[in-house]
A and B are shown apart, each in its own frame.
Chain A
Amino acid sequence: MAVREMTKLTLGPIAYHWSADARRDFYARIADEAPVDEVYLGEVICSKRAPFHEADLPATIDRLERGGKRVILSTLAEVMLKRERKATEDLAAMDTPEIEINNAAGLFARGKRPHRIGPFMNAYNEATIAWMAGQGATHVCLPSEMPAPAVAVATRAARDLGLRVEVQVFGRASLAVSARCYHARAHNRTKDNCQFVCEQDLDGMPLRTRDDRPILRVNGIQTQSESYIDLLPESPRLIADGVTHLRLMPQAVDMVSVASVFRDALDDRLGVGDAEVSLRDLCANVPFSNGFYHGQAGYQRIAMSAPA
């Protein structure tokens, strides 16, 4: 189907504090093997982590571009400290590669030069998207808590303005950010003396209720969903509504295979049912959810009715 071939699969920025070695290996495999079109790089969650992988960035960009991927640099979601302000300003000054902005400080620094709007920018509606388009936005990633009717209206409006539209279809949802580091807190430390305990949890630190039900994941200052969003079955509807880019968030699973399942399903080489079985196998015991998109509690898994 022609319209489907145009749909781009993207890999969002790594939310966790994976080691420099792990990142190098991860992106080498992505470059060579993953059927994704675009890859977002950069530290979005914690500015303290950035020095660990900044030095590798030029080589990673080069590696991915040689693998045929378009690279976009994402800015921090929270900008408060001097080093965070500086990092945001530096990224906003770059001509290439493209940048994705996640904080109004980045919009300020970027001015009217072209940029992408990241998922932390709260582009919830057509009026805000129109404003952003007038300021140089070329691409908008919608907040993952938006329900289907709003996604459809926002997407149509954005496409009419010439913007590309992205929706997260795989991985943990970002549910909150804070100035406080909850990873450090769990280890009786503070953000300033965290000793990077977050590196122990490659897929986030699990929180369970006191009656032992998994509920949330902690990733430094970020709180994430316990479940992985999975909108693979909803992807045809997203595409029909005009969504141009589907985002996979890197989790501690075989992301090359996850991307392949999505690509095969989008290209009709794999039926939705089989694709879902494959995803399930790849993600062990992690629950899947699509509640946000269906206007229900985010953690819920709403069964799709069989196509007519």
Chain B
Amino acid sequence: MSLAELICPSGTPAALRTAVDAGADAVYCGFQDATNARNFPGLNFTPDELEASVAYAHAKGTKVLLALNTYPPAGKVDLWRQAADTGARLGVDAFIVADMGVAHYIARTYPAVRLHLSVQAAASSPEAIRYYCENFGIKRVVLPRILTIPEIRQIRKEIPCEIETFIFGNHGLMVEGRCSLTNYLTGQSTNMDGVCSPASDVEYTRQADGSMSSQLAGFTIDCFGPDEKAGYPTICKGRYTAPHRPDGYYAFEEPISLNLSRLLPDLIDAGVHAFKIEGRQRSKSYVRGVVSAFRAAIDDIRAGRQANIANLVALTEGQKQTQGAFETKKWR
């Protein structure tokens, strides 16, 4: 059986301490700039905050993974190199990378520090993963959320590195690292700026009849009746019309959370080494609740006990949840 490490989101130093205290095996975080894929206002770490946070985490036996998982546009590569230099100096346990130039720089400059391949690299076959392993010494791959468990089991047999999968949180459905939807509407790039459907471009408009529309950069992403709860206008979770769908439908995916708690034992059995909880933008109380529940479940499974899956399922109670691609090919 794999170790089944629990990898937890840390959007702020406070969230990091919360995740560490709740039993995270590792936390992941980023700097306050374009070098990571959650470059949102009010999130992330200054170098000083990261230094203190590494000390806090290490004192409790928790690893710190630094996300440098965006793609530097030409002419700005130094910002990513400096972030790697700072992370190495502060003693982070691994870098999470996507860009080949960034991976090559770290592999050459800091060969002793582990490299994890971000989901943003979109490596979804054994050959792609082996390319990164053989060229940059990648120790772990974060798999795209598009594979079934039998496919993950097969990949595990054909690659020389560990596997990390998302288990809970936002259900990304585009191949990450290959999405320019946000840049098309807002002028800010997910790949180059770390921005996805930015709050600064969001507007909600209420009509006289009580209905509501949500907009991103002036484009209507969805409309809601007076009794419907208005959702955040993420482009790939919006409702649109098509020639065969004149009434408006979720063209890509419903606003829905990924919750693989029921599949946890199967994923461990398939050889997944680490489970990632999404949500660096979430509150401390959210982090505390989710991390504690998964900590208990994984400890039960490790000890050969029946895990109390009901607690995990309840975390998204009242919200729609999915097992996405992991459960069945029909998702595709």
Q: What 3 A-B pairs are tightest by C-beta distance, nearest first? A: A127-B101, A179-B146, A154-B74
- Bitwise, B284-302 to A at CB < 8 A (1) or not (0) is 0000000000000000000
Max count, chain B CB within 10 A of own CB: residue among A211, A212, A297: A297
Main secondary structure of the interface of B (DSSP, over half): mixed
- Bitwise, B57-89 to A at CB < 8 A (1) or not (0) is 000000000000001111111000000000000
**In the complex, A174→B174 CA distance in Å?**
12
Pair A179/B175 contact, Cβ less than 8 Å: yes
Known: A150-B75, A153-B74. A181 touches B249 (CB 8 A): no
Say yes or no: is A3 at the interface (Cβ < 8 Å to chain B).
no
Say yes or no: is B32 at the interface (Cβ < 8 Å to chain A).
no
Pair A145/B177 contact, Cβ less than 8 Å: no
- Determine the chain B residues whose CB is within 8 A of the CB of A187 once the complex forms: 244
Q: Which of B77, B100, B325 contacts A132 (CB 8 A)?
A: B100
**In the complex, A130→B131 CA distance in Å?**
16
Binding site for A on B (CB under 8 A): 71-77, 98-102, 104-105, 121-128, 130-132, 134-135, 144, 146-147, 151, 173-175, 177-181, 183-187, 189, 191-192, 213, 217, 219-223, 236, 238-245, 248-249, 251-253, 325, 329-332
Binding site for B on A (CB under 8 A): 77-80, 84-85, 88-89, 103-105, 107-109, 120, 122, 124-132, 135, 143-147, 149-154, 157, 173-182, 185-187, 190-192, 205-213, 215-216, 218, 223, 225, 291-292, 295-300
Pair A191/B184 contact, Cβ less than 8 Å: no
Pair B74/A205 contact, Cβ less than 8 Å: no
Known: A150-B73, A213-B219. A291 touches B105 (CB 8 A): no
Pair A181/B104 contact, Cβ less than 8 Å: no
**In the complex, A179→B147 CA distance in Å?**
8
Pair B220/A297 contact, Cβ less than 8 Å: no
Main secondary structure of the interface of A (DSSP, over half): mixed
Pair A180/B73 contact, Cβ less than 8 Å: no
Max count, chain B CB within 10 A of own CB: residue among A107, A144, A152, A207: A207
Pair A122/B242 contact, Cβ less than 8 Å: no
- Determine the chain A residues whose CB is within 8 A of the CB of B244 once the complex forms: 186-187
Q: List 29 A-B contacts (CB under 8 A).
A: A77-B178, A80-B125, A80-B147, A122-B71, A125-B101, A126-B75, A127-B104, A129-B74, A130-B101, A143-B180, A145-B180, A145-B189, A146-B74, A173-B180, A173-B184, A176-B179, A179-B146, A179-B173, A180-B146, A181-B332, A182-B252, A186-B242, A186-B251, A207-B242, A215-B219, A218-B242, A295-B187, A296-B187, A299-B185
Pair B242/A192 contact, Cβ less than 8 Å: no
The residue on A at minimum CB distance from B134 is: A108
Pair B102/A176 contact, Cβ less than 8 Å: no
**In the complex, A296→B184 CA distance in Å?**
8
Pair A176/B180 contact, Cβ less than 8 Å: yes
- Determine the chain B residues whose CB is within 8 A of the CB of A109 once the complex forms: 127
Pair A298/B125 contact, Cβ less than 8 Å: no
- Determine the chain A residues whose CB is within 8 A of the CB of B217 once the complex forms: 297
